[in-house]
């Protein structure tokens, strides 16, 4: 038995004065109305109506139960109206976002200017971090994450792959020469990124993998600095300190301007998958739906 439907039918019977009129109002047969009433009385273990050949009237309990049915059905209707208002209202409120630092600074932040103009009632709180913070416990609405994902209940939408480029400054190359094959990197100053211990690229700081026509090559590199900041590596490389493997988002303008030079064009550095993560039950919020749609518009595969 559908309890809410049975309660609705009972209210209609009381208000219309007969099962026949209630059946017409509910769009069902008189027999079905009677079935709902009997099922409801059996569930409650008490009679709701006094029925005679000429009329029906409420039992004492039936009158009390009728009032309770009105309250319950009113609450249900009010909850549905509230949900409709949430879906239909303009996106607004505080939206908490976390993203990797380089992507966040070079790709996300400029795009958020457009997003903010499109949705002026949304306030943005953005944390840029290489740490994979727990989305729910940390209070974030949405995260942009790099690398392979661990199983979870979160929705994961794939974004464009996070690609990197091997490069150095013209000054460094003039002093030290230009590597021609991956093994030449062993004779150069290679600046390394310090990945967190729980990162799936934690060994990539000193072991650089490149894919060429002959397949993947792994080279053990060394150099004067390891640092946990892509921006610091970028500045150091631009000053001629050594060779770096940096996100395209960070170096593409310098590559176009000639401030950095891409190396080993016949070899492709590895890329990292990137995803947009959010909790399924929060997607009903207009502010989150607006950002998810915007992010997919900007960076979908």
pLDDT tens profile 187-239? 999 999 888 777 777 666 688 999 988 889 999 999 999 998 899 999 999 99
Asked whether 272 and 162 are in contact (CB, 8 A), the reply is yes
Question: Which segments of the chain belong to CATH 3.40.190.290?
Answer: 164-270
What is the DSSP track for 165-216?
EEEE-HHHHHHH----SGGGGGGS-B-EE---TTSTTTTTTTEEEEEETTEE
SS3 content of the chain, % helix, strand, coil (to 5): 45, 25, 30
Q: How many CB atoms lie within 10 A of CB 120?
A: 10
pLDDT in tens, 108-142: 999 999 999 999 999 999 999 887 777 877 889 99
* 3-state SS assignment for residue 149: coil
> pLDDT tens for residues 140-185?
999 999 888 877 788 999 999 999 999 999 999 999 999 999 999 9
What's the distance, Cα to Cα, between the start and end of the chain in Å?
A: 47
Helix (H, G, I), strand (E, B) or coil at 30: helix
**The domain 164-270 is classified under which CATH number: 3.40.190.290, 3.40.50.300, 3.40.640.10, 3.60.21.10?**
3.40.190.290
Topology at the third CATH level for domain 93-162+273-299: D-Maltodextrin-Binding Protein; domain 2 (3.40.190)
Q: Where in the chain is the domain with CATH 1.10.10.10?
A: 3-88
Q: Does position 54 have pLDDT exceeding 70, yes or no?
A: no
Tell how strand 122-128 and strand 56-58 pair up: unpaired
**pTM, full prediction:** 0.67
The CATH fold assigned to 3-88 is Arc Repressor Mutant, subunit A (1.10.10)
């Amino acid at each position: 038995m559908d309890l809410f439907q049975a309660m609705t039918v009972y209210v209609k019977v009381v208000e219309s004065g007969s099962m026949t009129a209630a059946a017409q109002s509910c769009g069902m047969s008189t027999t079905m109305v009677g079935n709902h009433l009997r099922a409801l009385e059996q569930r409650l273990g008490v009679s709701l109506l006094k029925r005679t050949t000429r009329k029906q009237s409420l039992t004492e309990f039936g009158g009390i139960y009728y009032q309770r049915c009105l309250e319950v059905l009113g609450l249900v209707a009010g909850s549905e109206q509230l949900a409709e208002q949430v879906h239909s209202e303009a996106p607004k409120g505080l939206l908490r976002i976390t993203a990797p630092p380089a992507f966040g600074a070079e790709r996300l932040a400029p795009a958020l200017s457009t997003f903010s103009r499109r949705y002026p009632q949304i306030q943005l709180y953005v944390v840029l971090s290489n740490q994979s913070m727990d989305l729910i416990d940390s209070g974030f609405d949405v995260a942009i994450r790099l690398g392979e994902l661990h199983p979870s209940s979160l929705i994961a939408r794939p974004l464009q792959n996070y690609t990197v480029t091997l490069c150095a400054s013209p000054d460094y190359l003039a002093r030290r020469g230009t590597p021609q094959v991956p093994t030449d990197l062993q004779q150069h100053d290679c600046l390394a990124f310090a990945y967190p211990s729980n990162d799936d690229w934690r060994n990539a700081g000193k072991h650089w993998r490149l894919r060429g026509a002959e397949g993947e090559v792994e080279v053990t590199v060394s150099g004067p600095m390891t640092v946990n900041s892509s921006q610091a590596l970028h500045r150091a490389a631009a000053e001629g300190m050594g060779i770096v493997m940096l996100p395209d988002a960070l170096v593409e303008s310098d590559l176009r301007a000639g401030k950095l030079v891409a190396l080993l064009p016949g070899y492709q550095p590895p890329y990292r998958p990137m995803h947009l993560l959010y909790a399924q039950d929060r997607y009903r919020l207009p502010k989150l739906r607006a950002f998810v749609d915007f992010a997919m518009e900007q960076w979908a595969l």
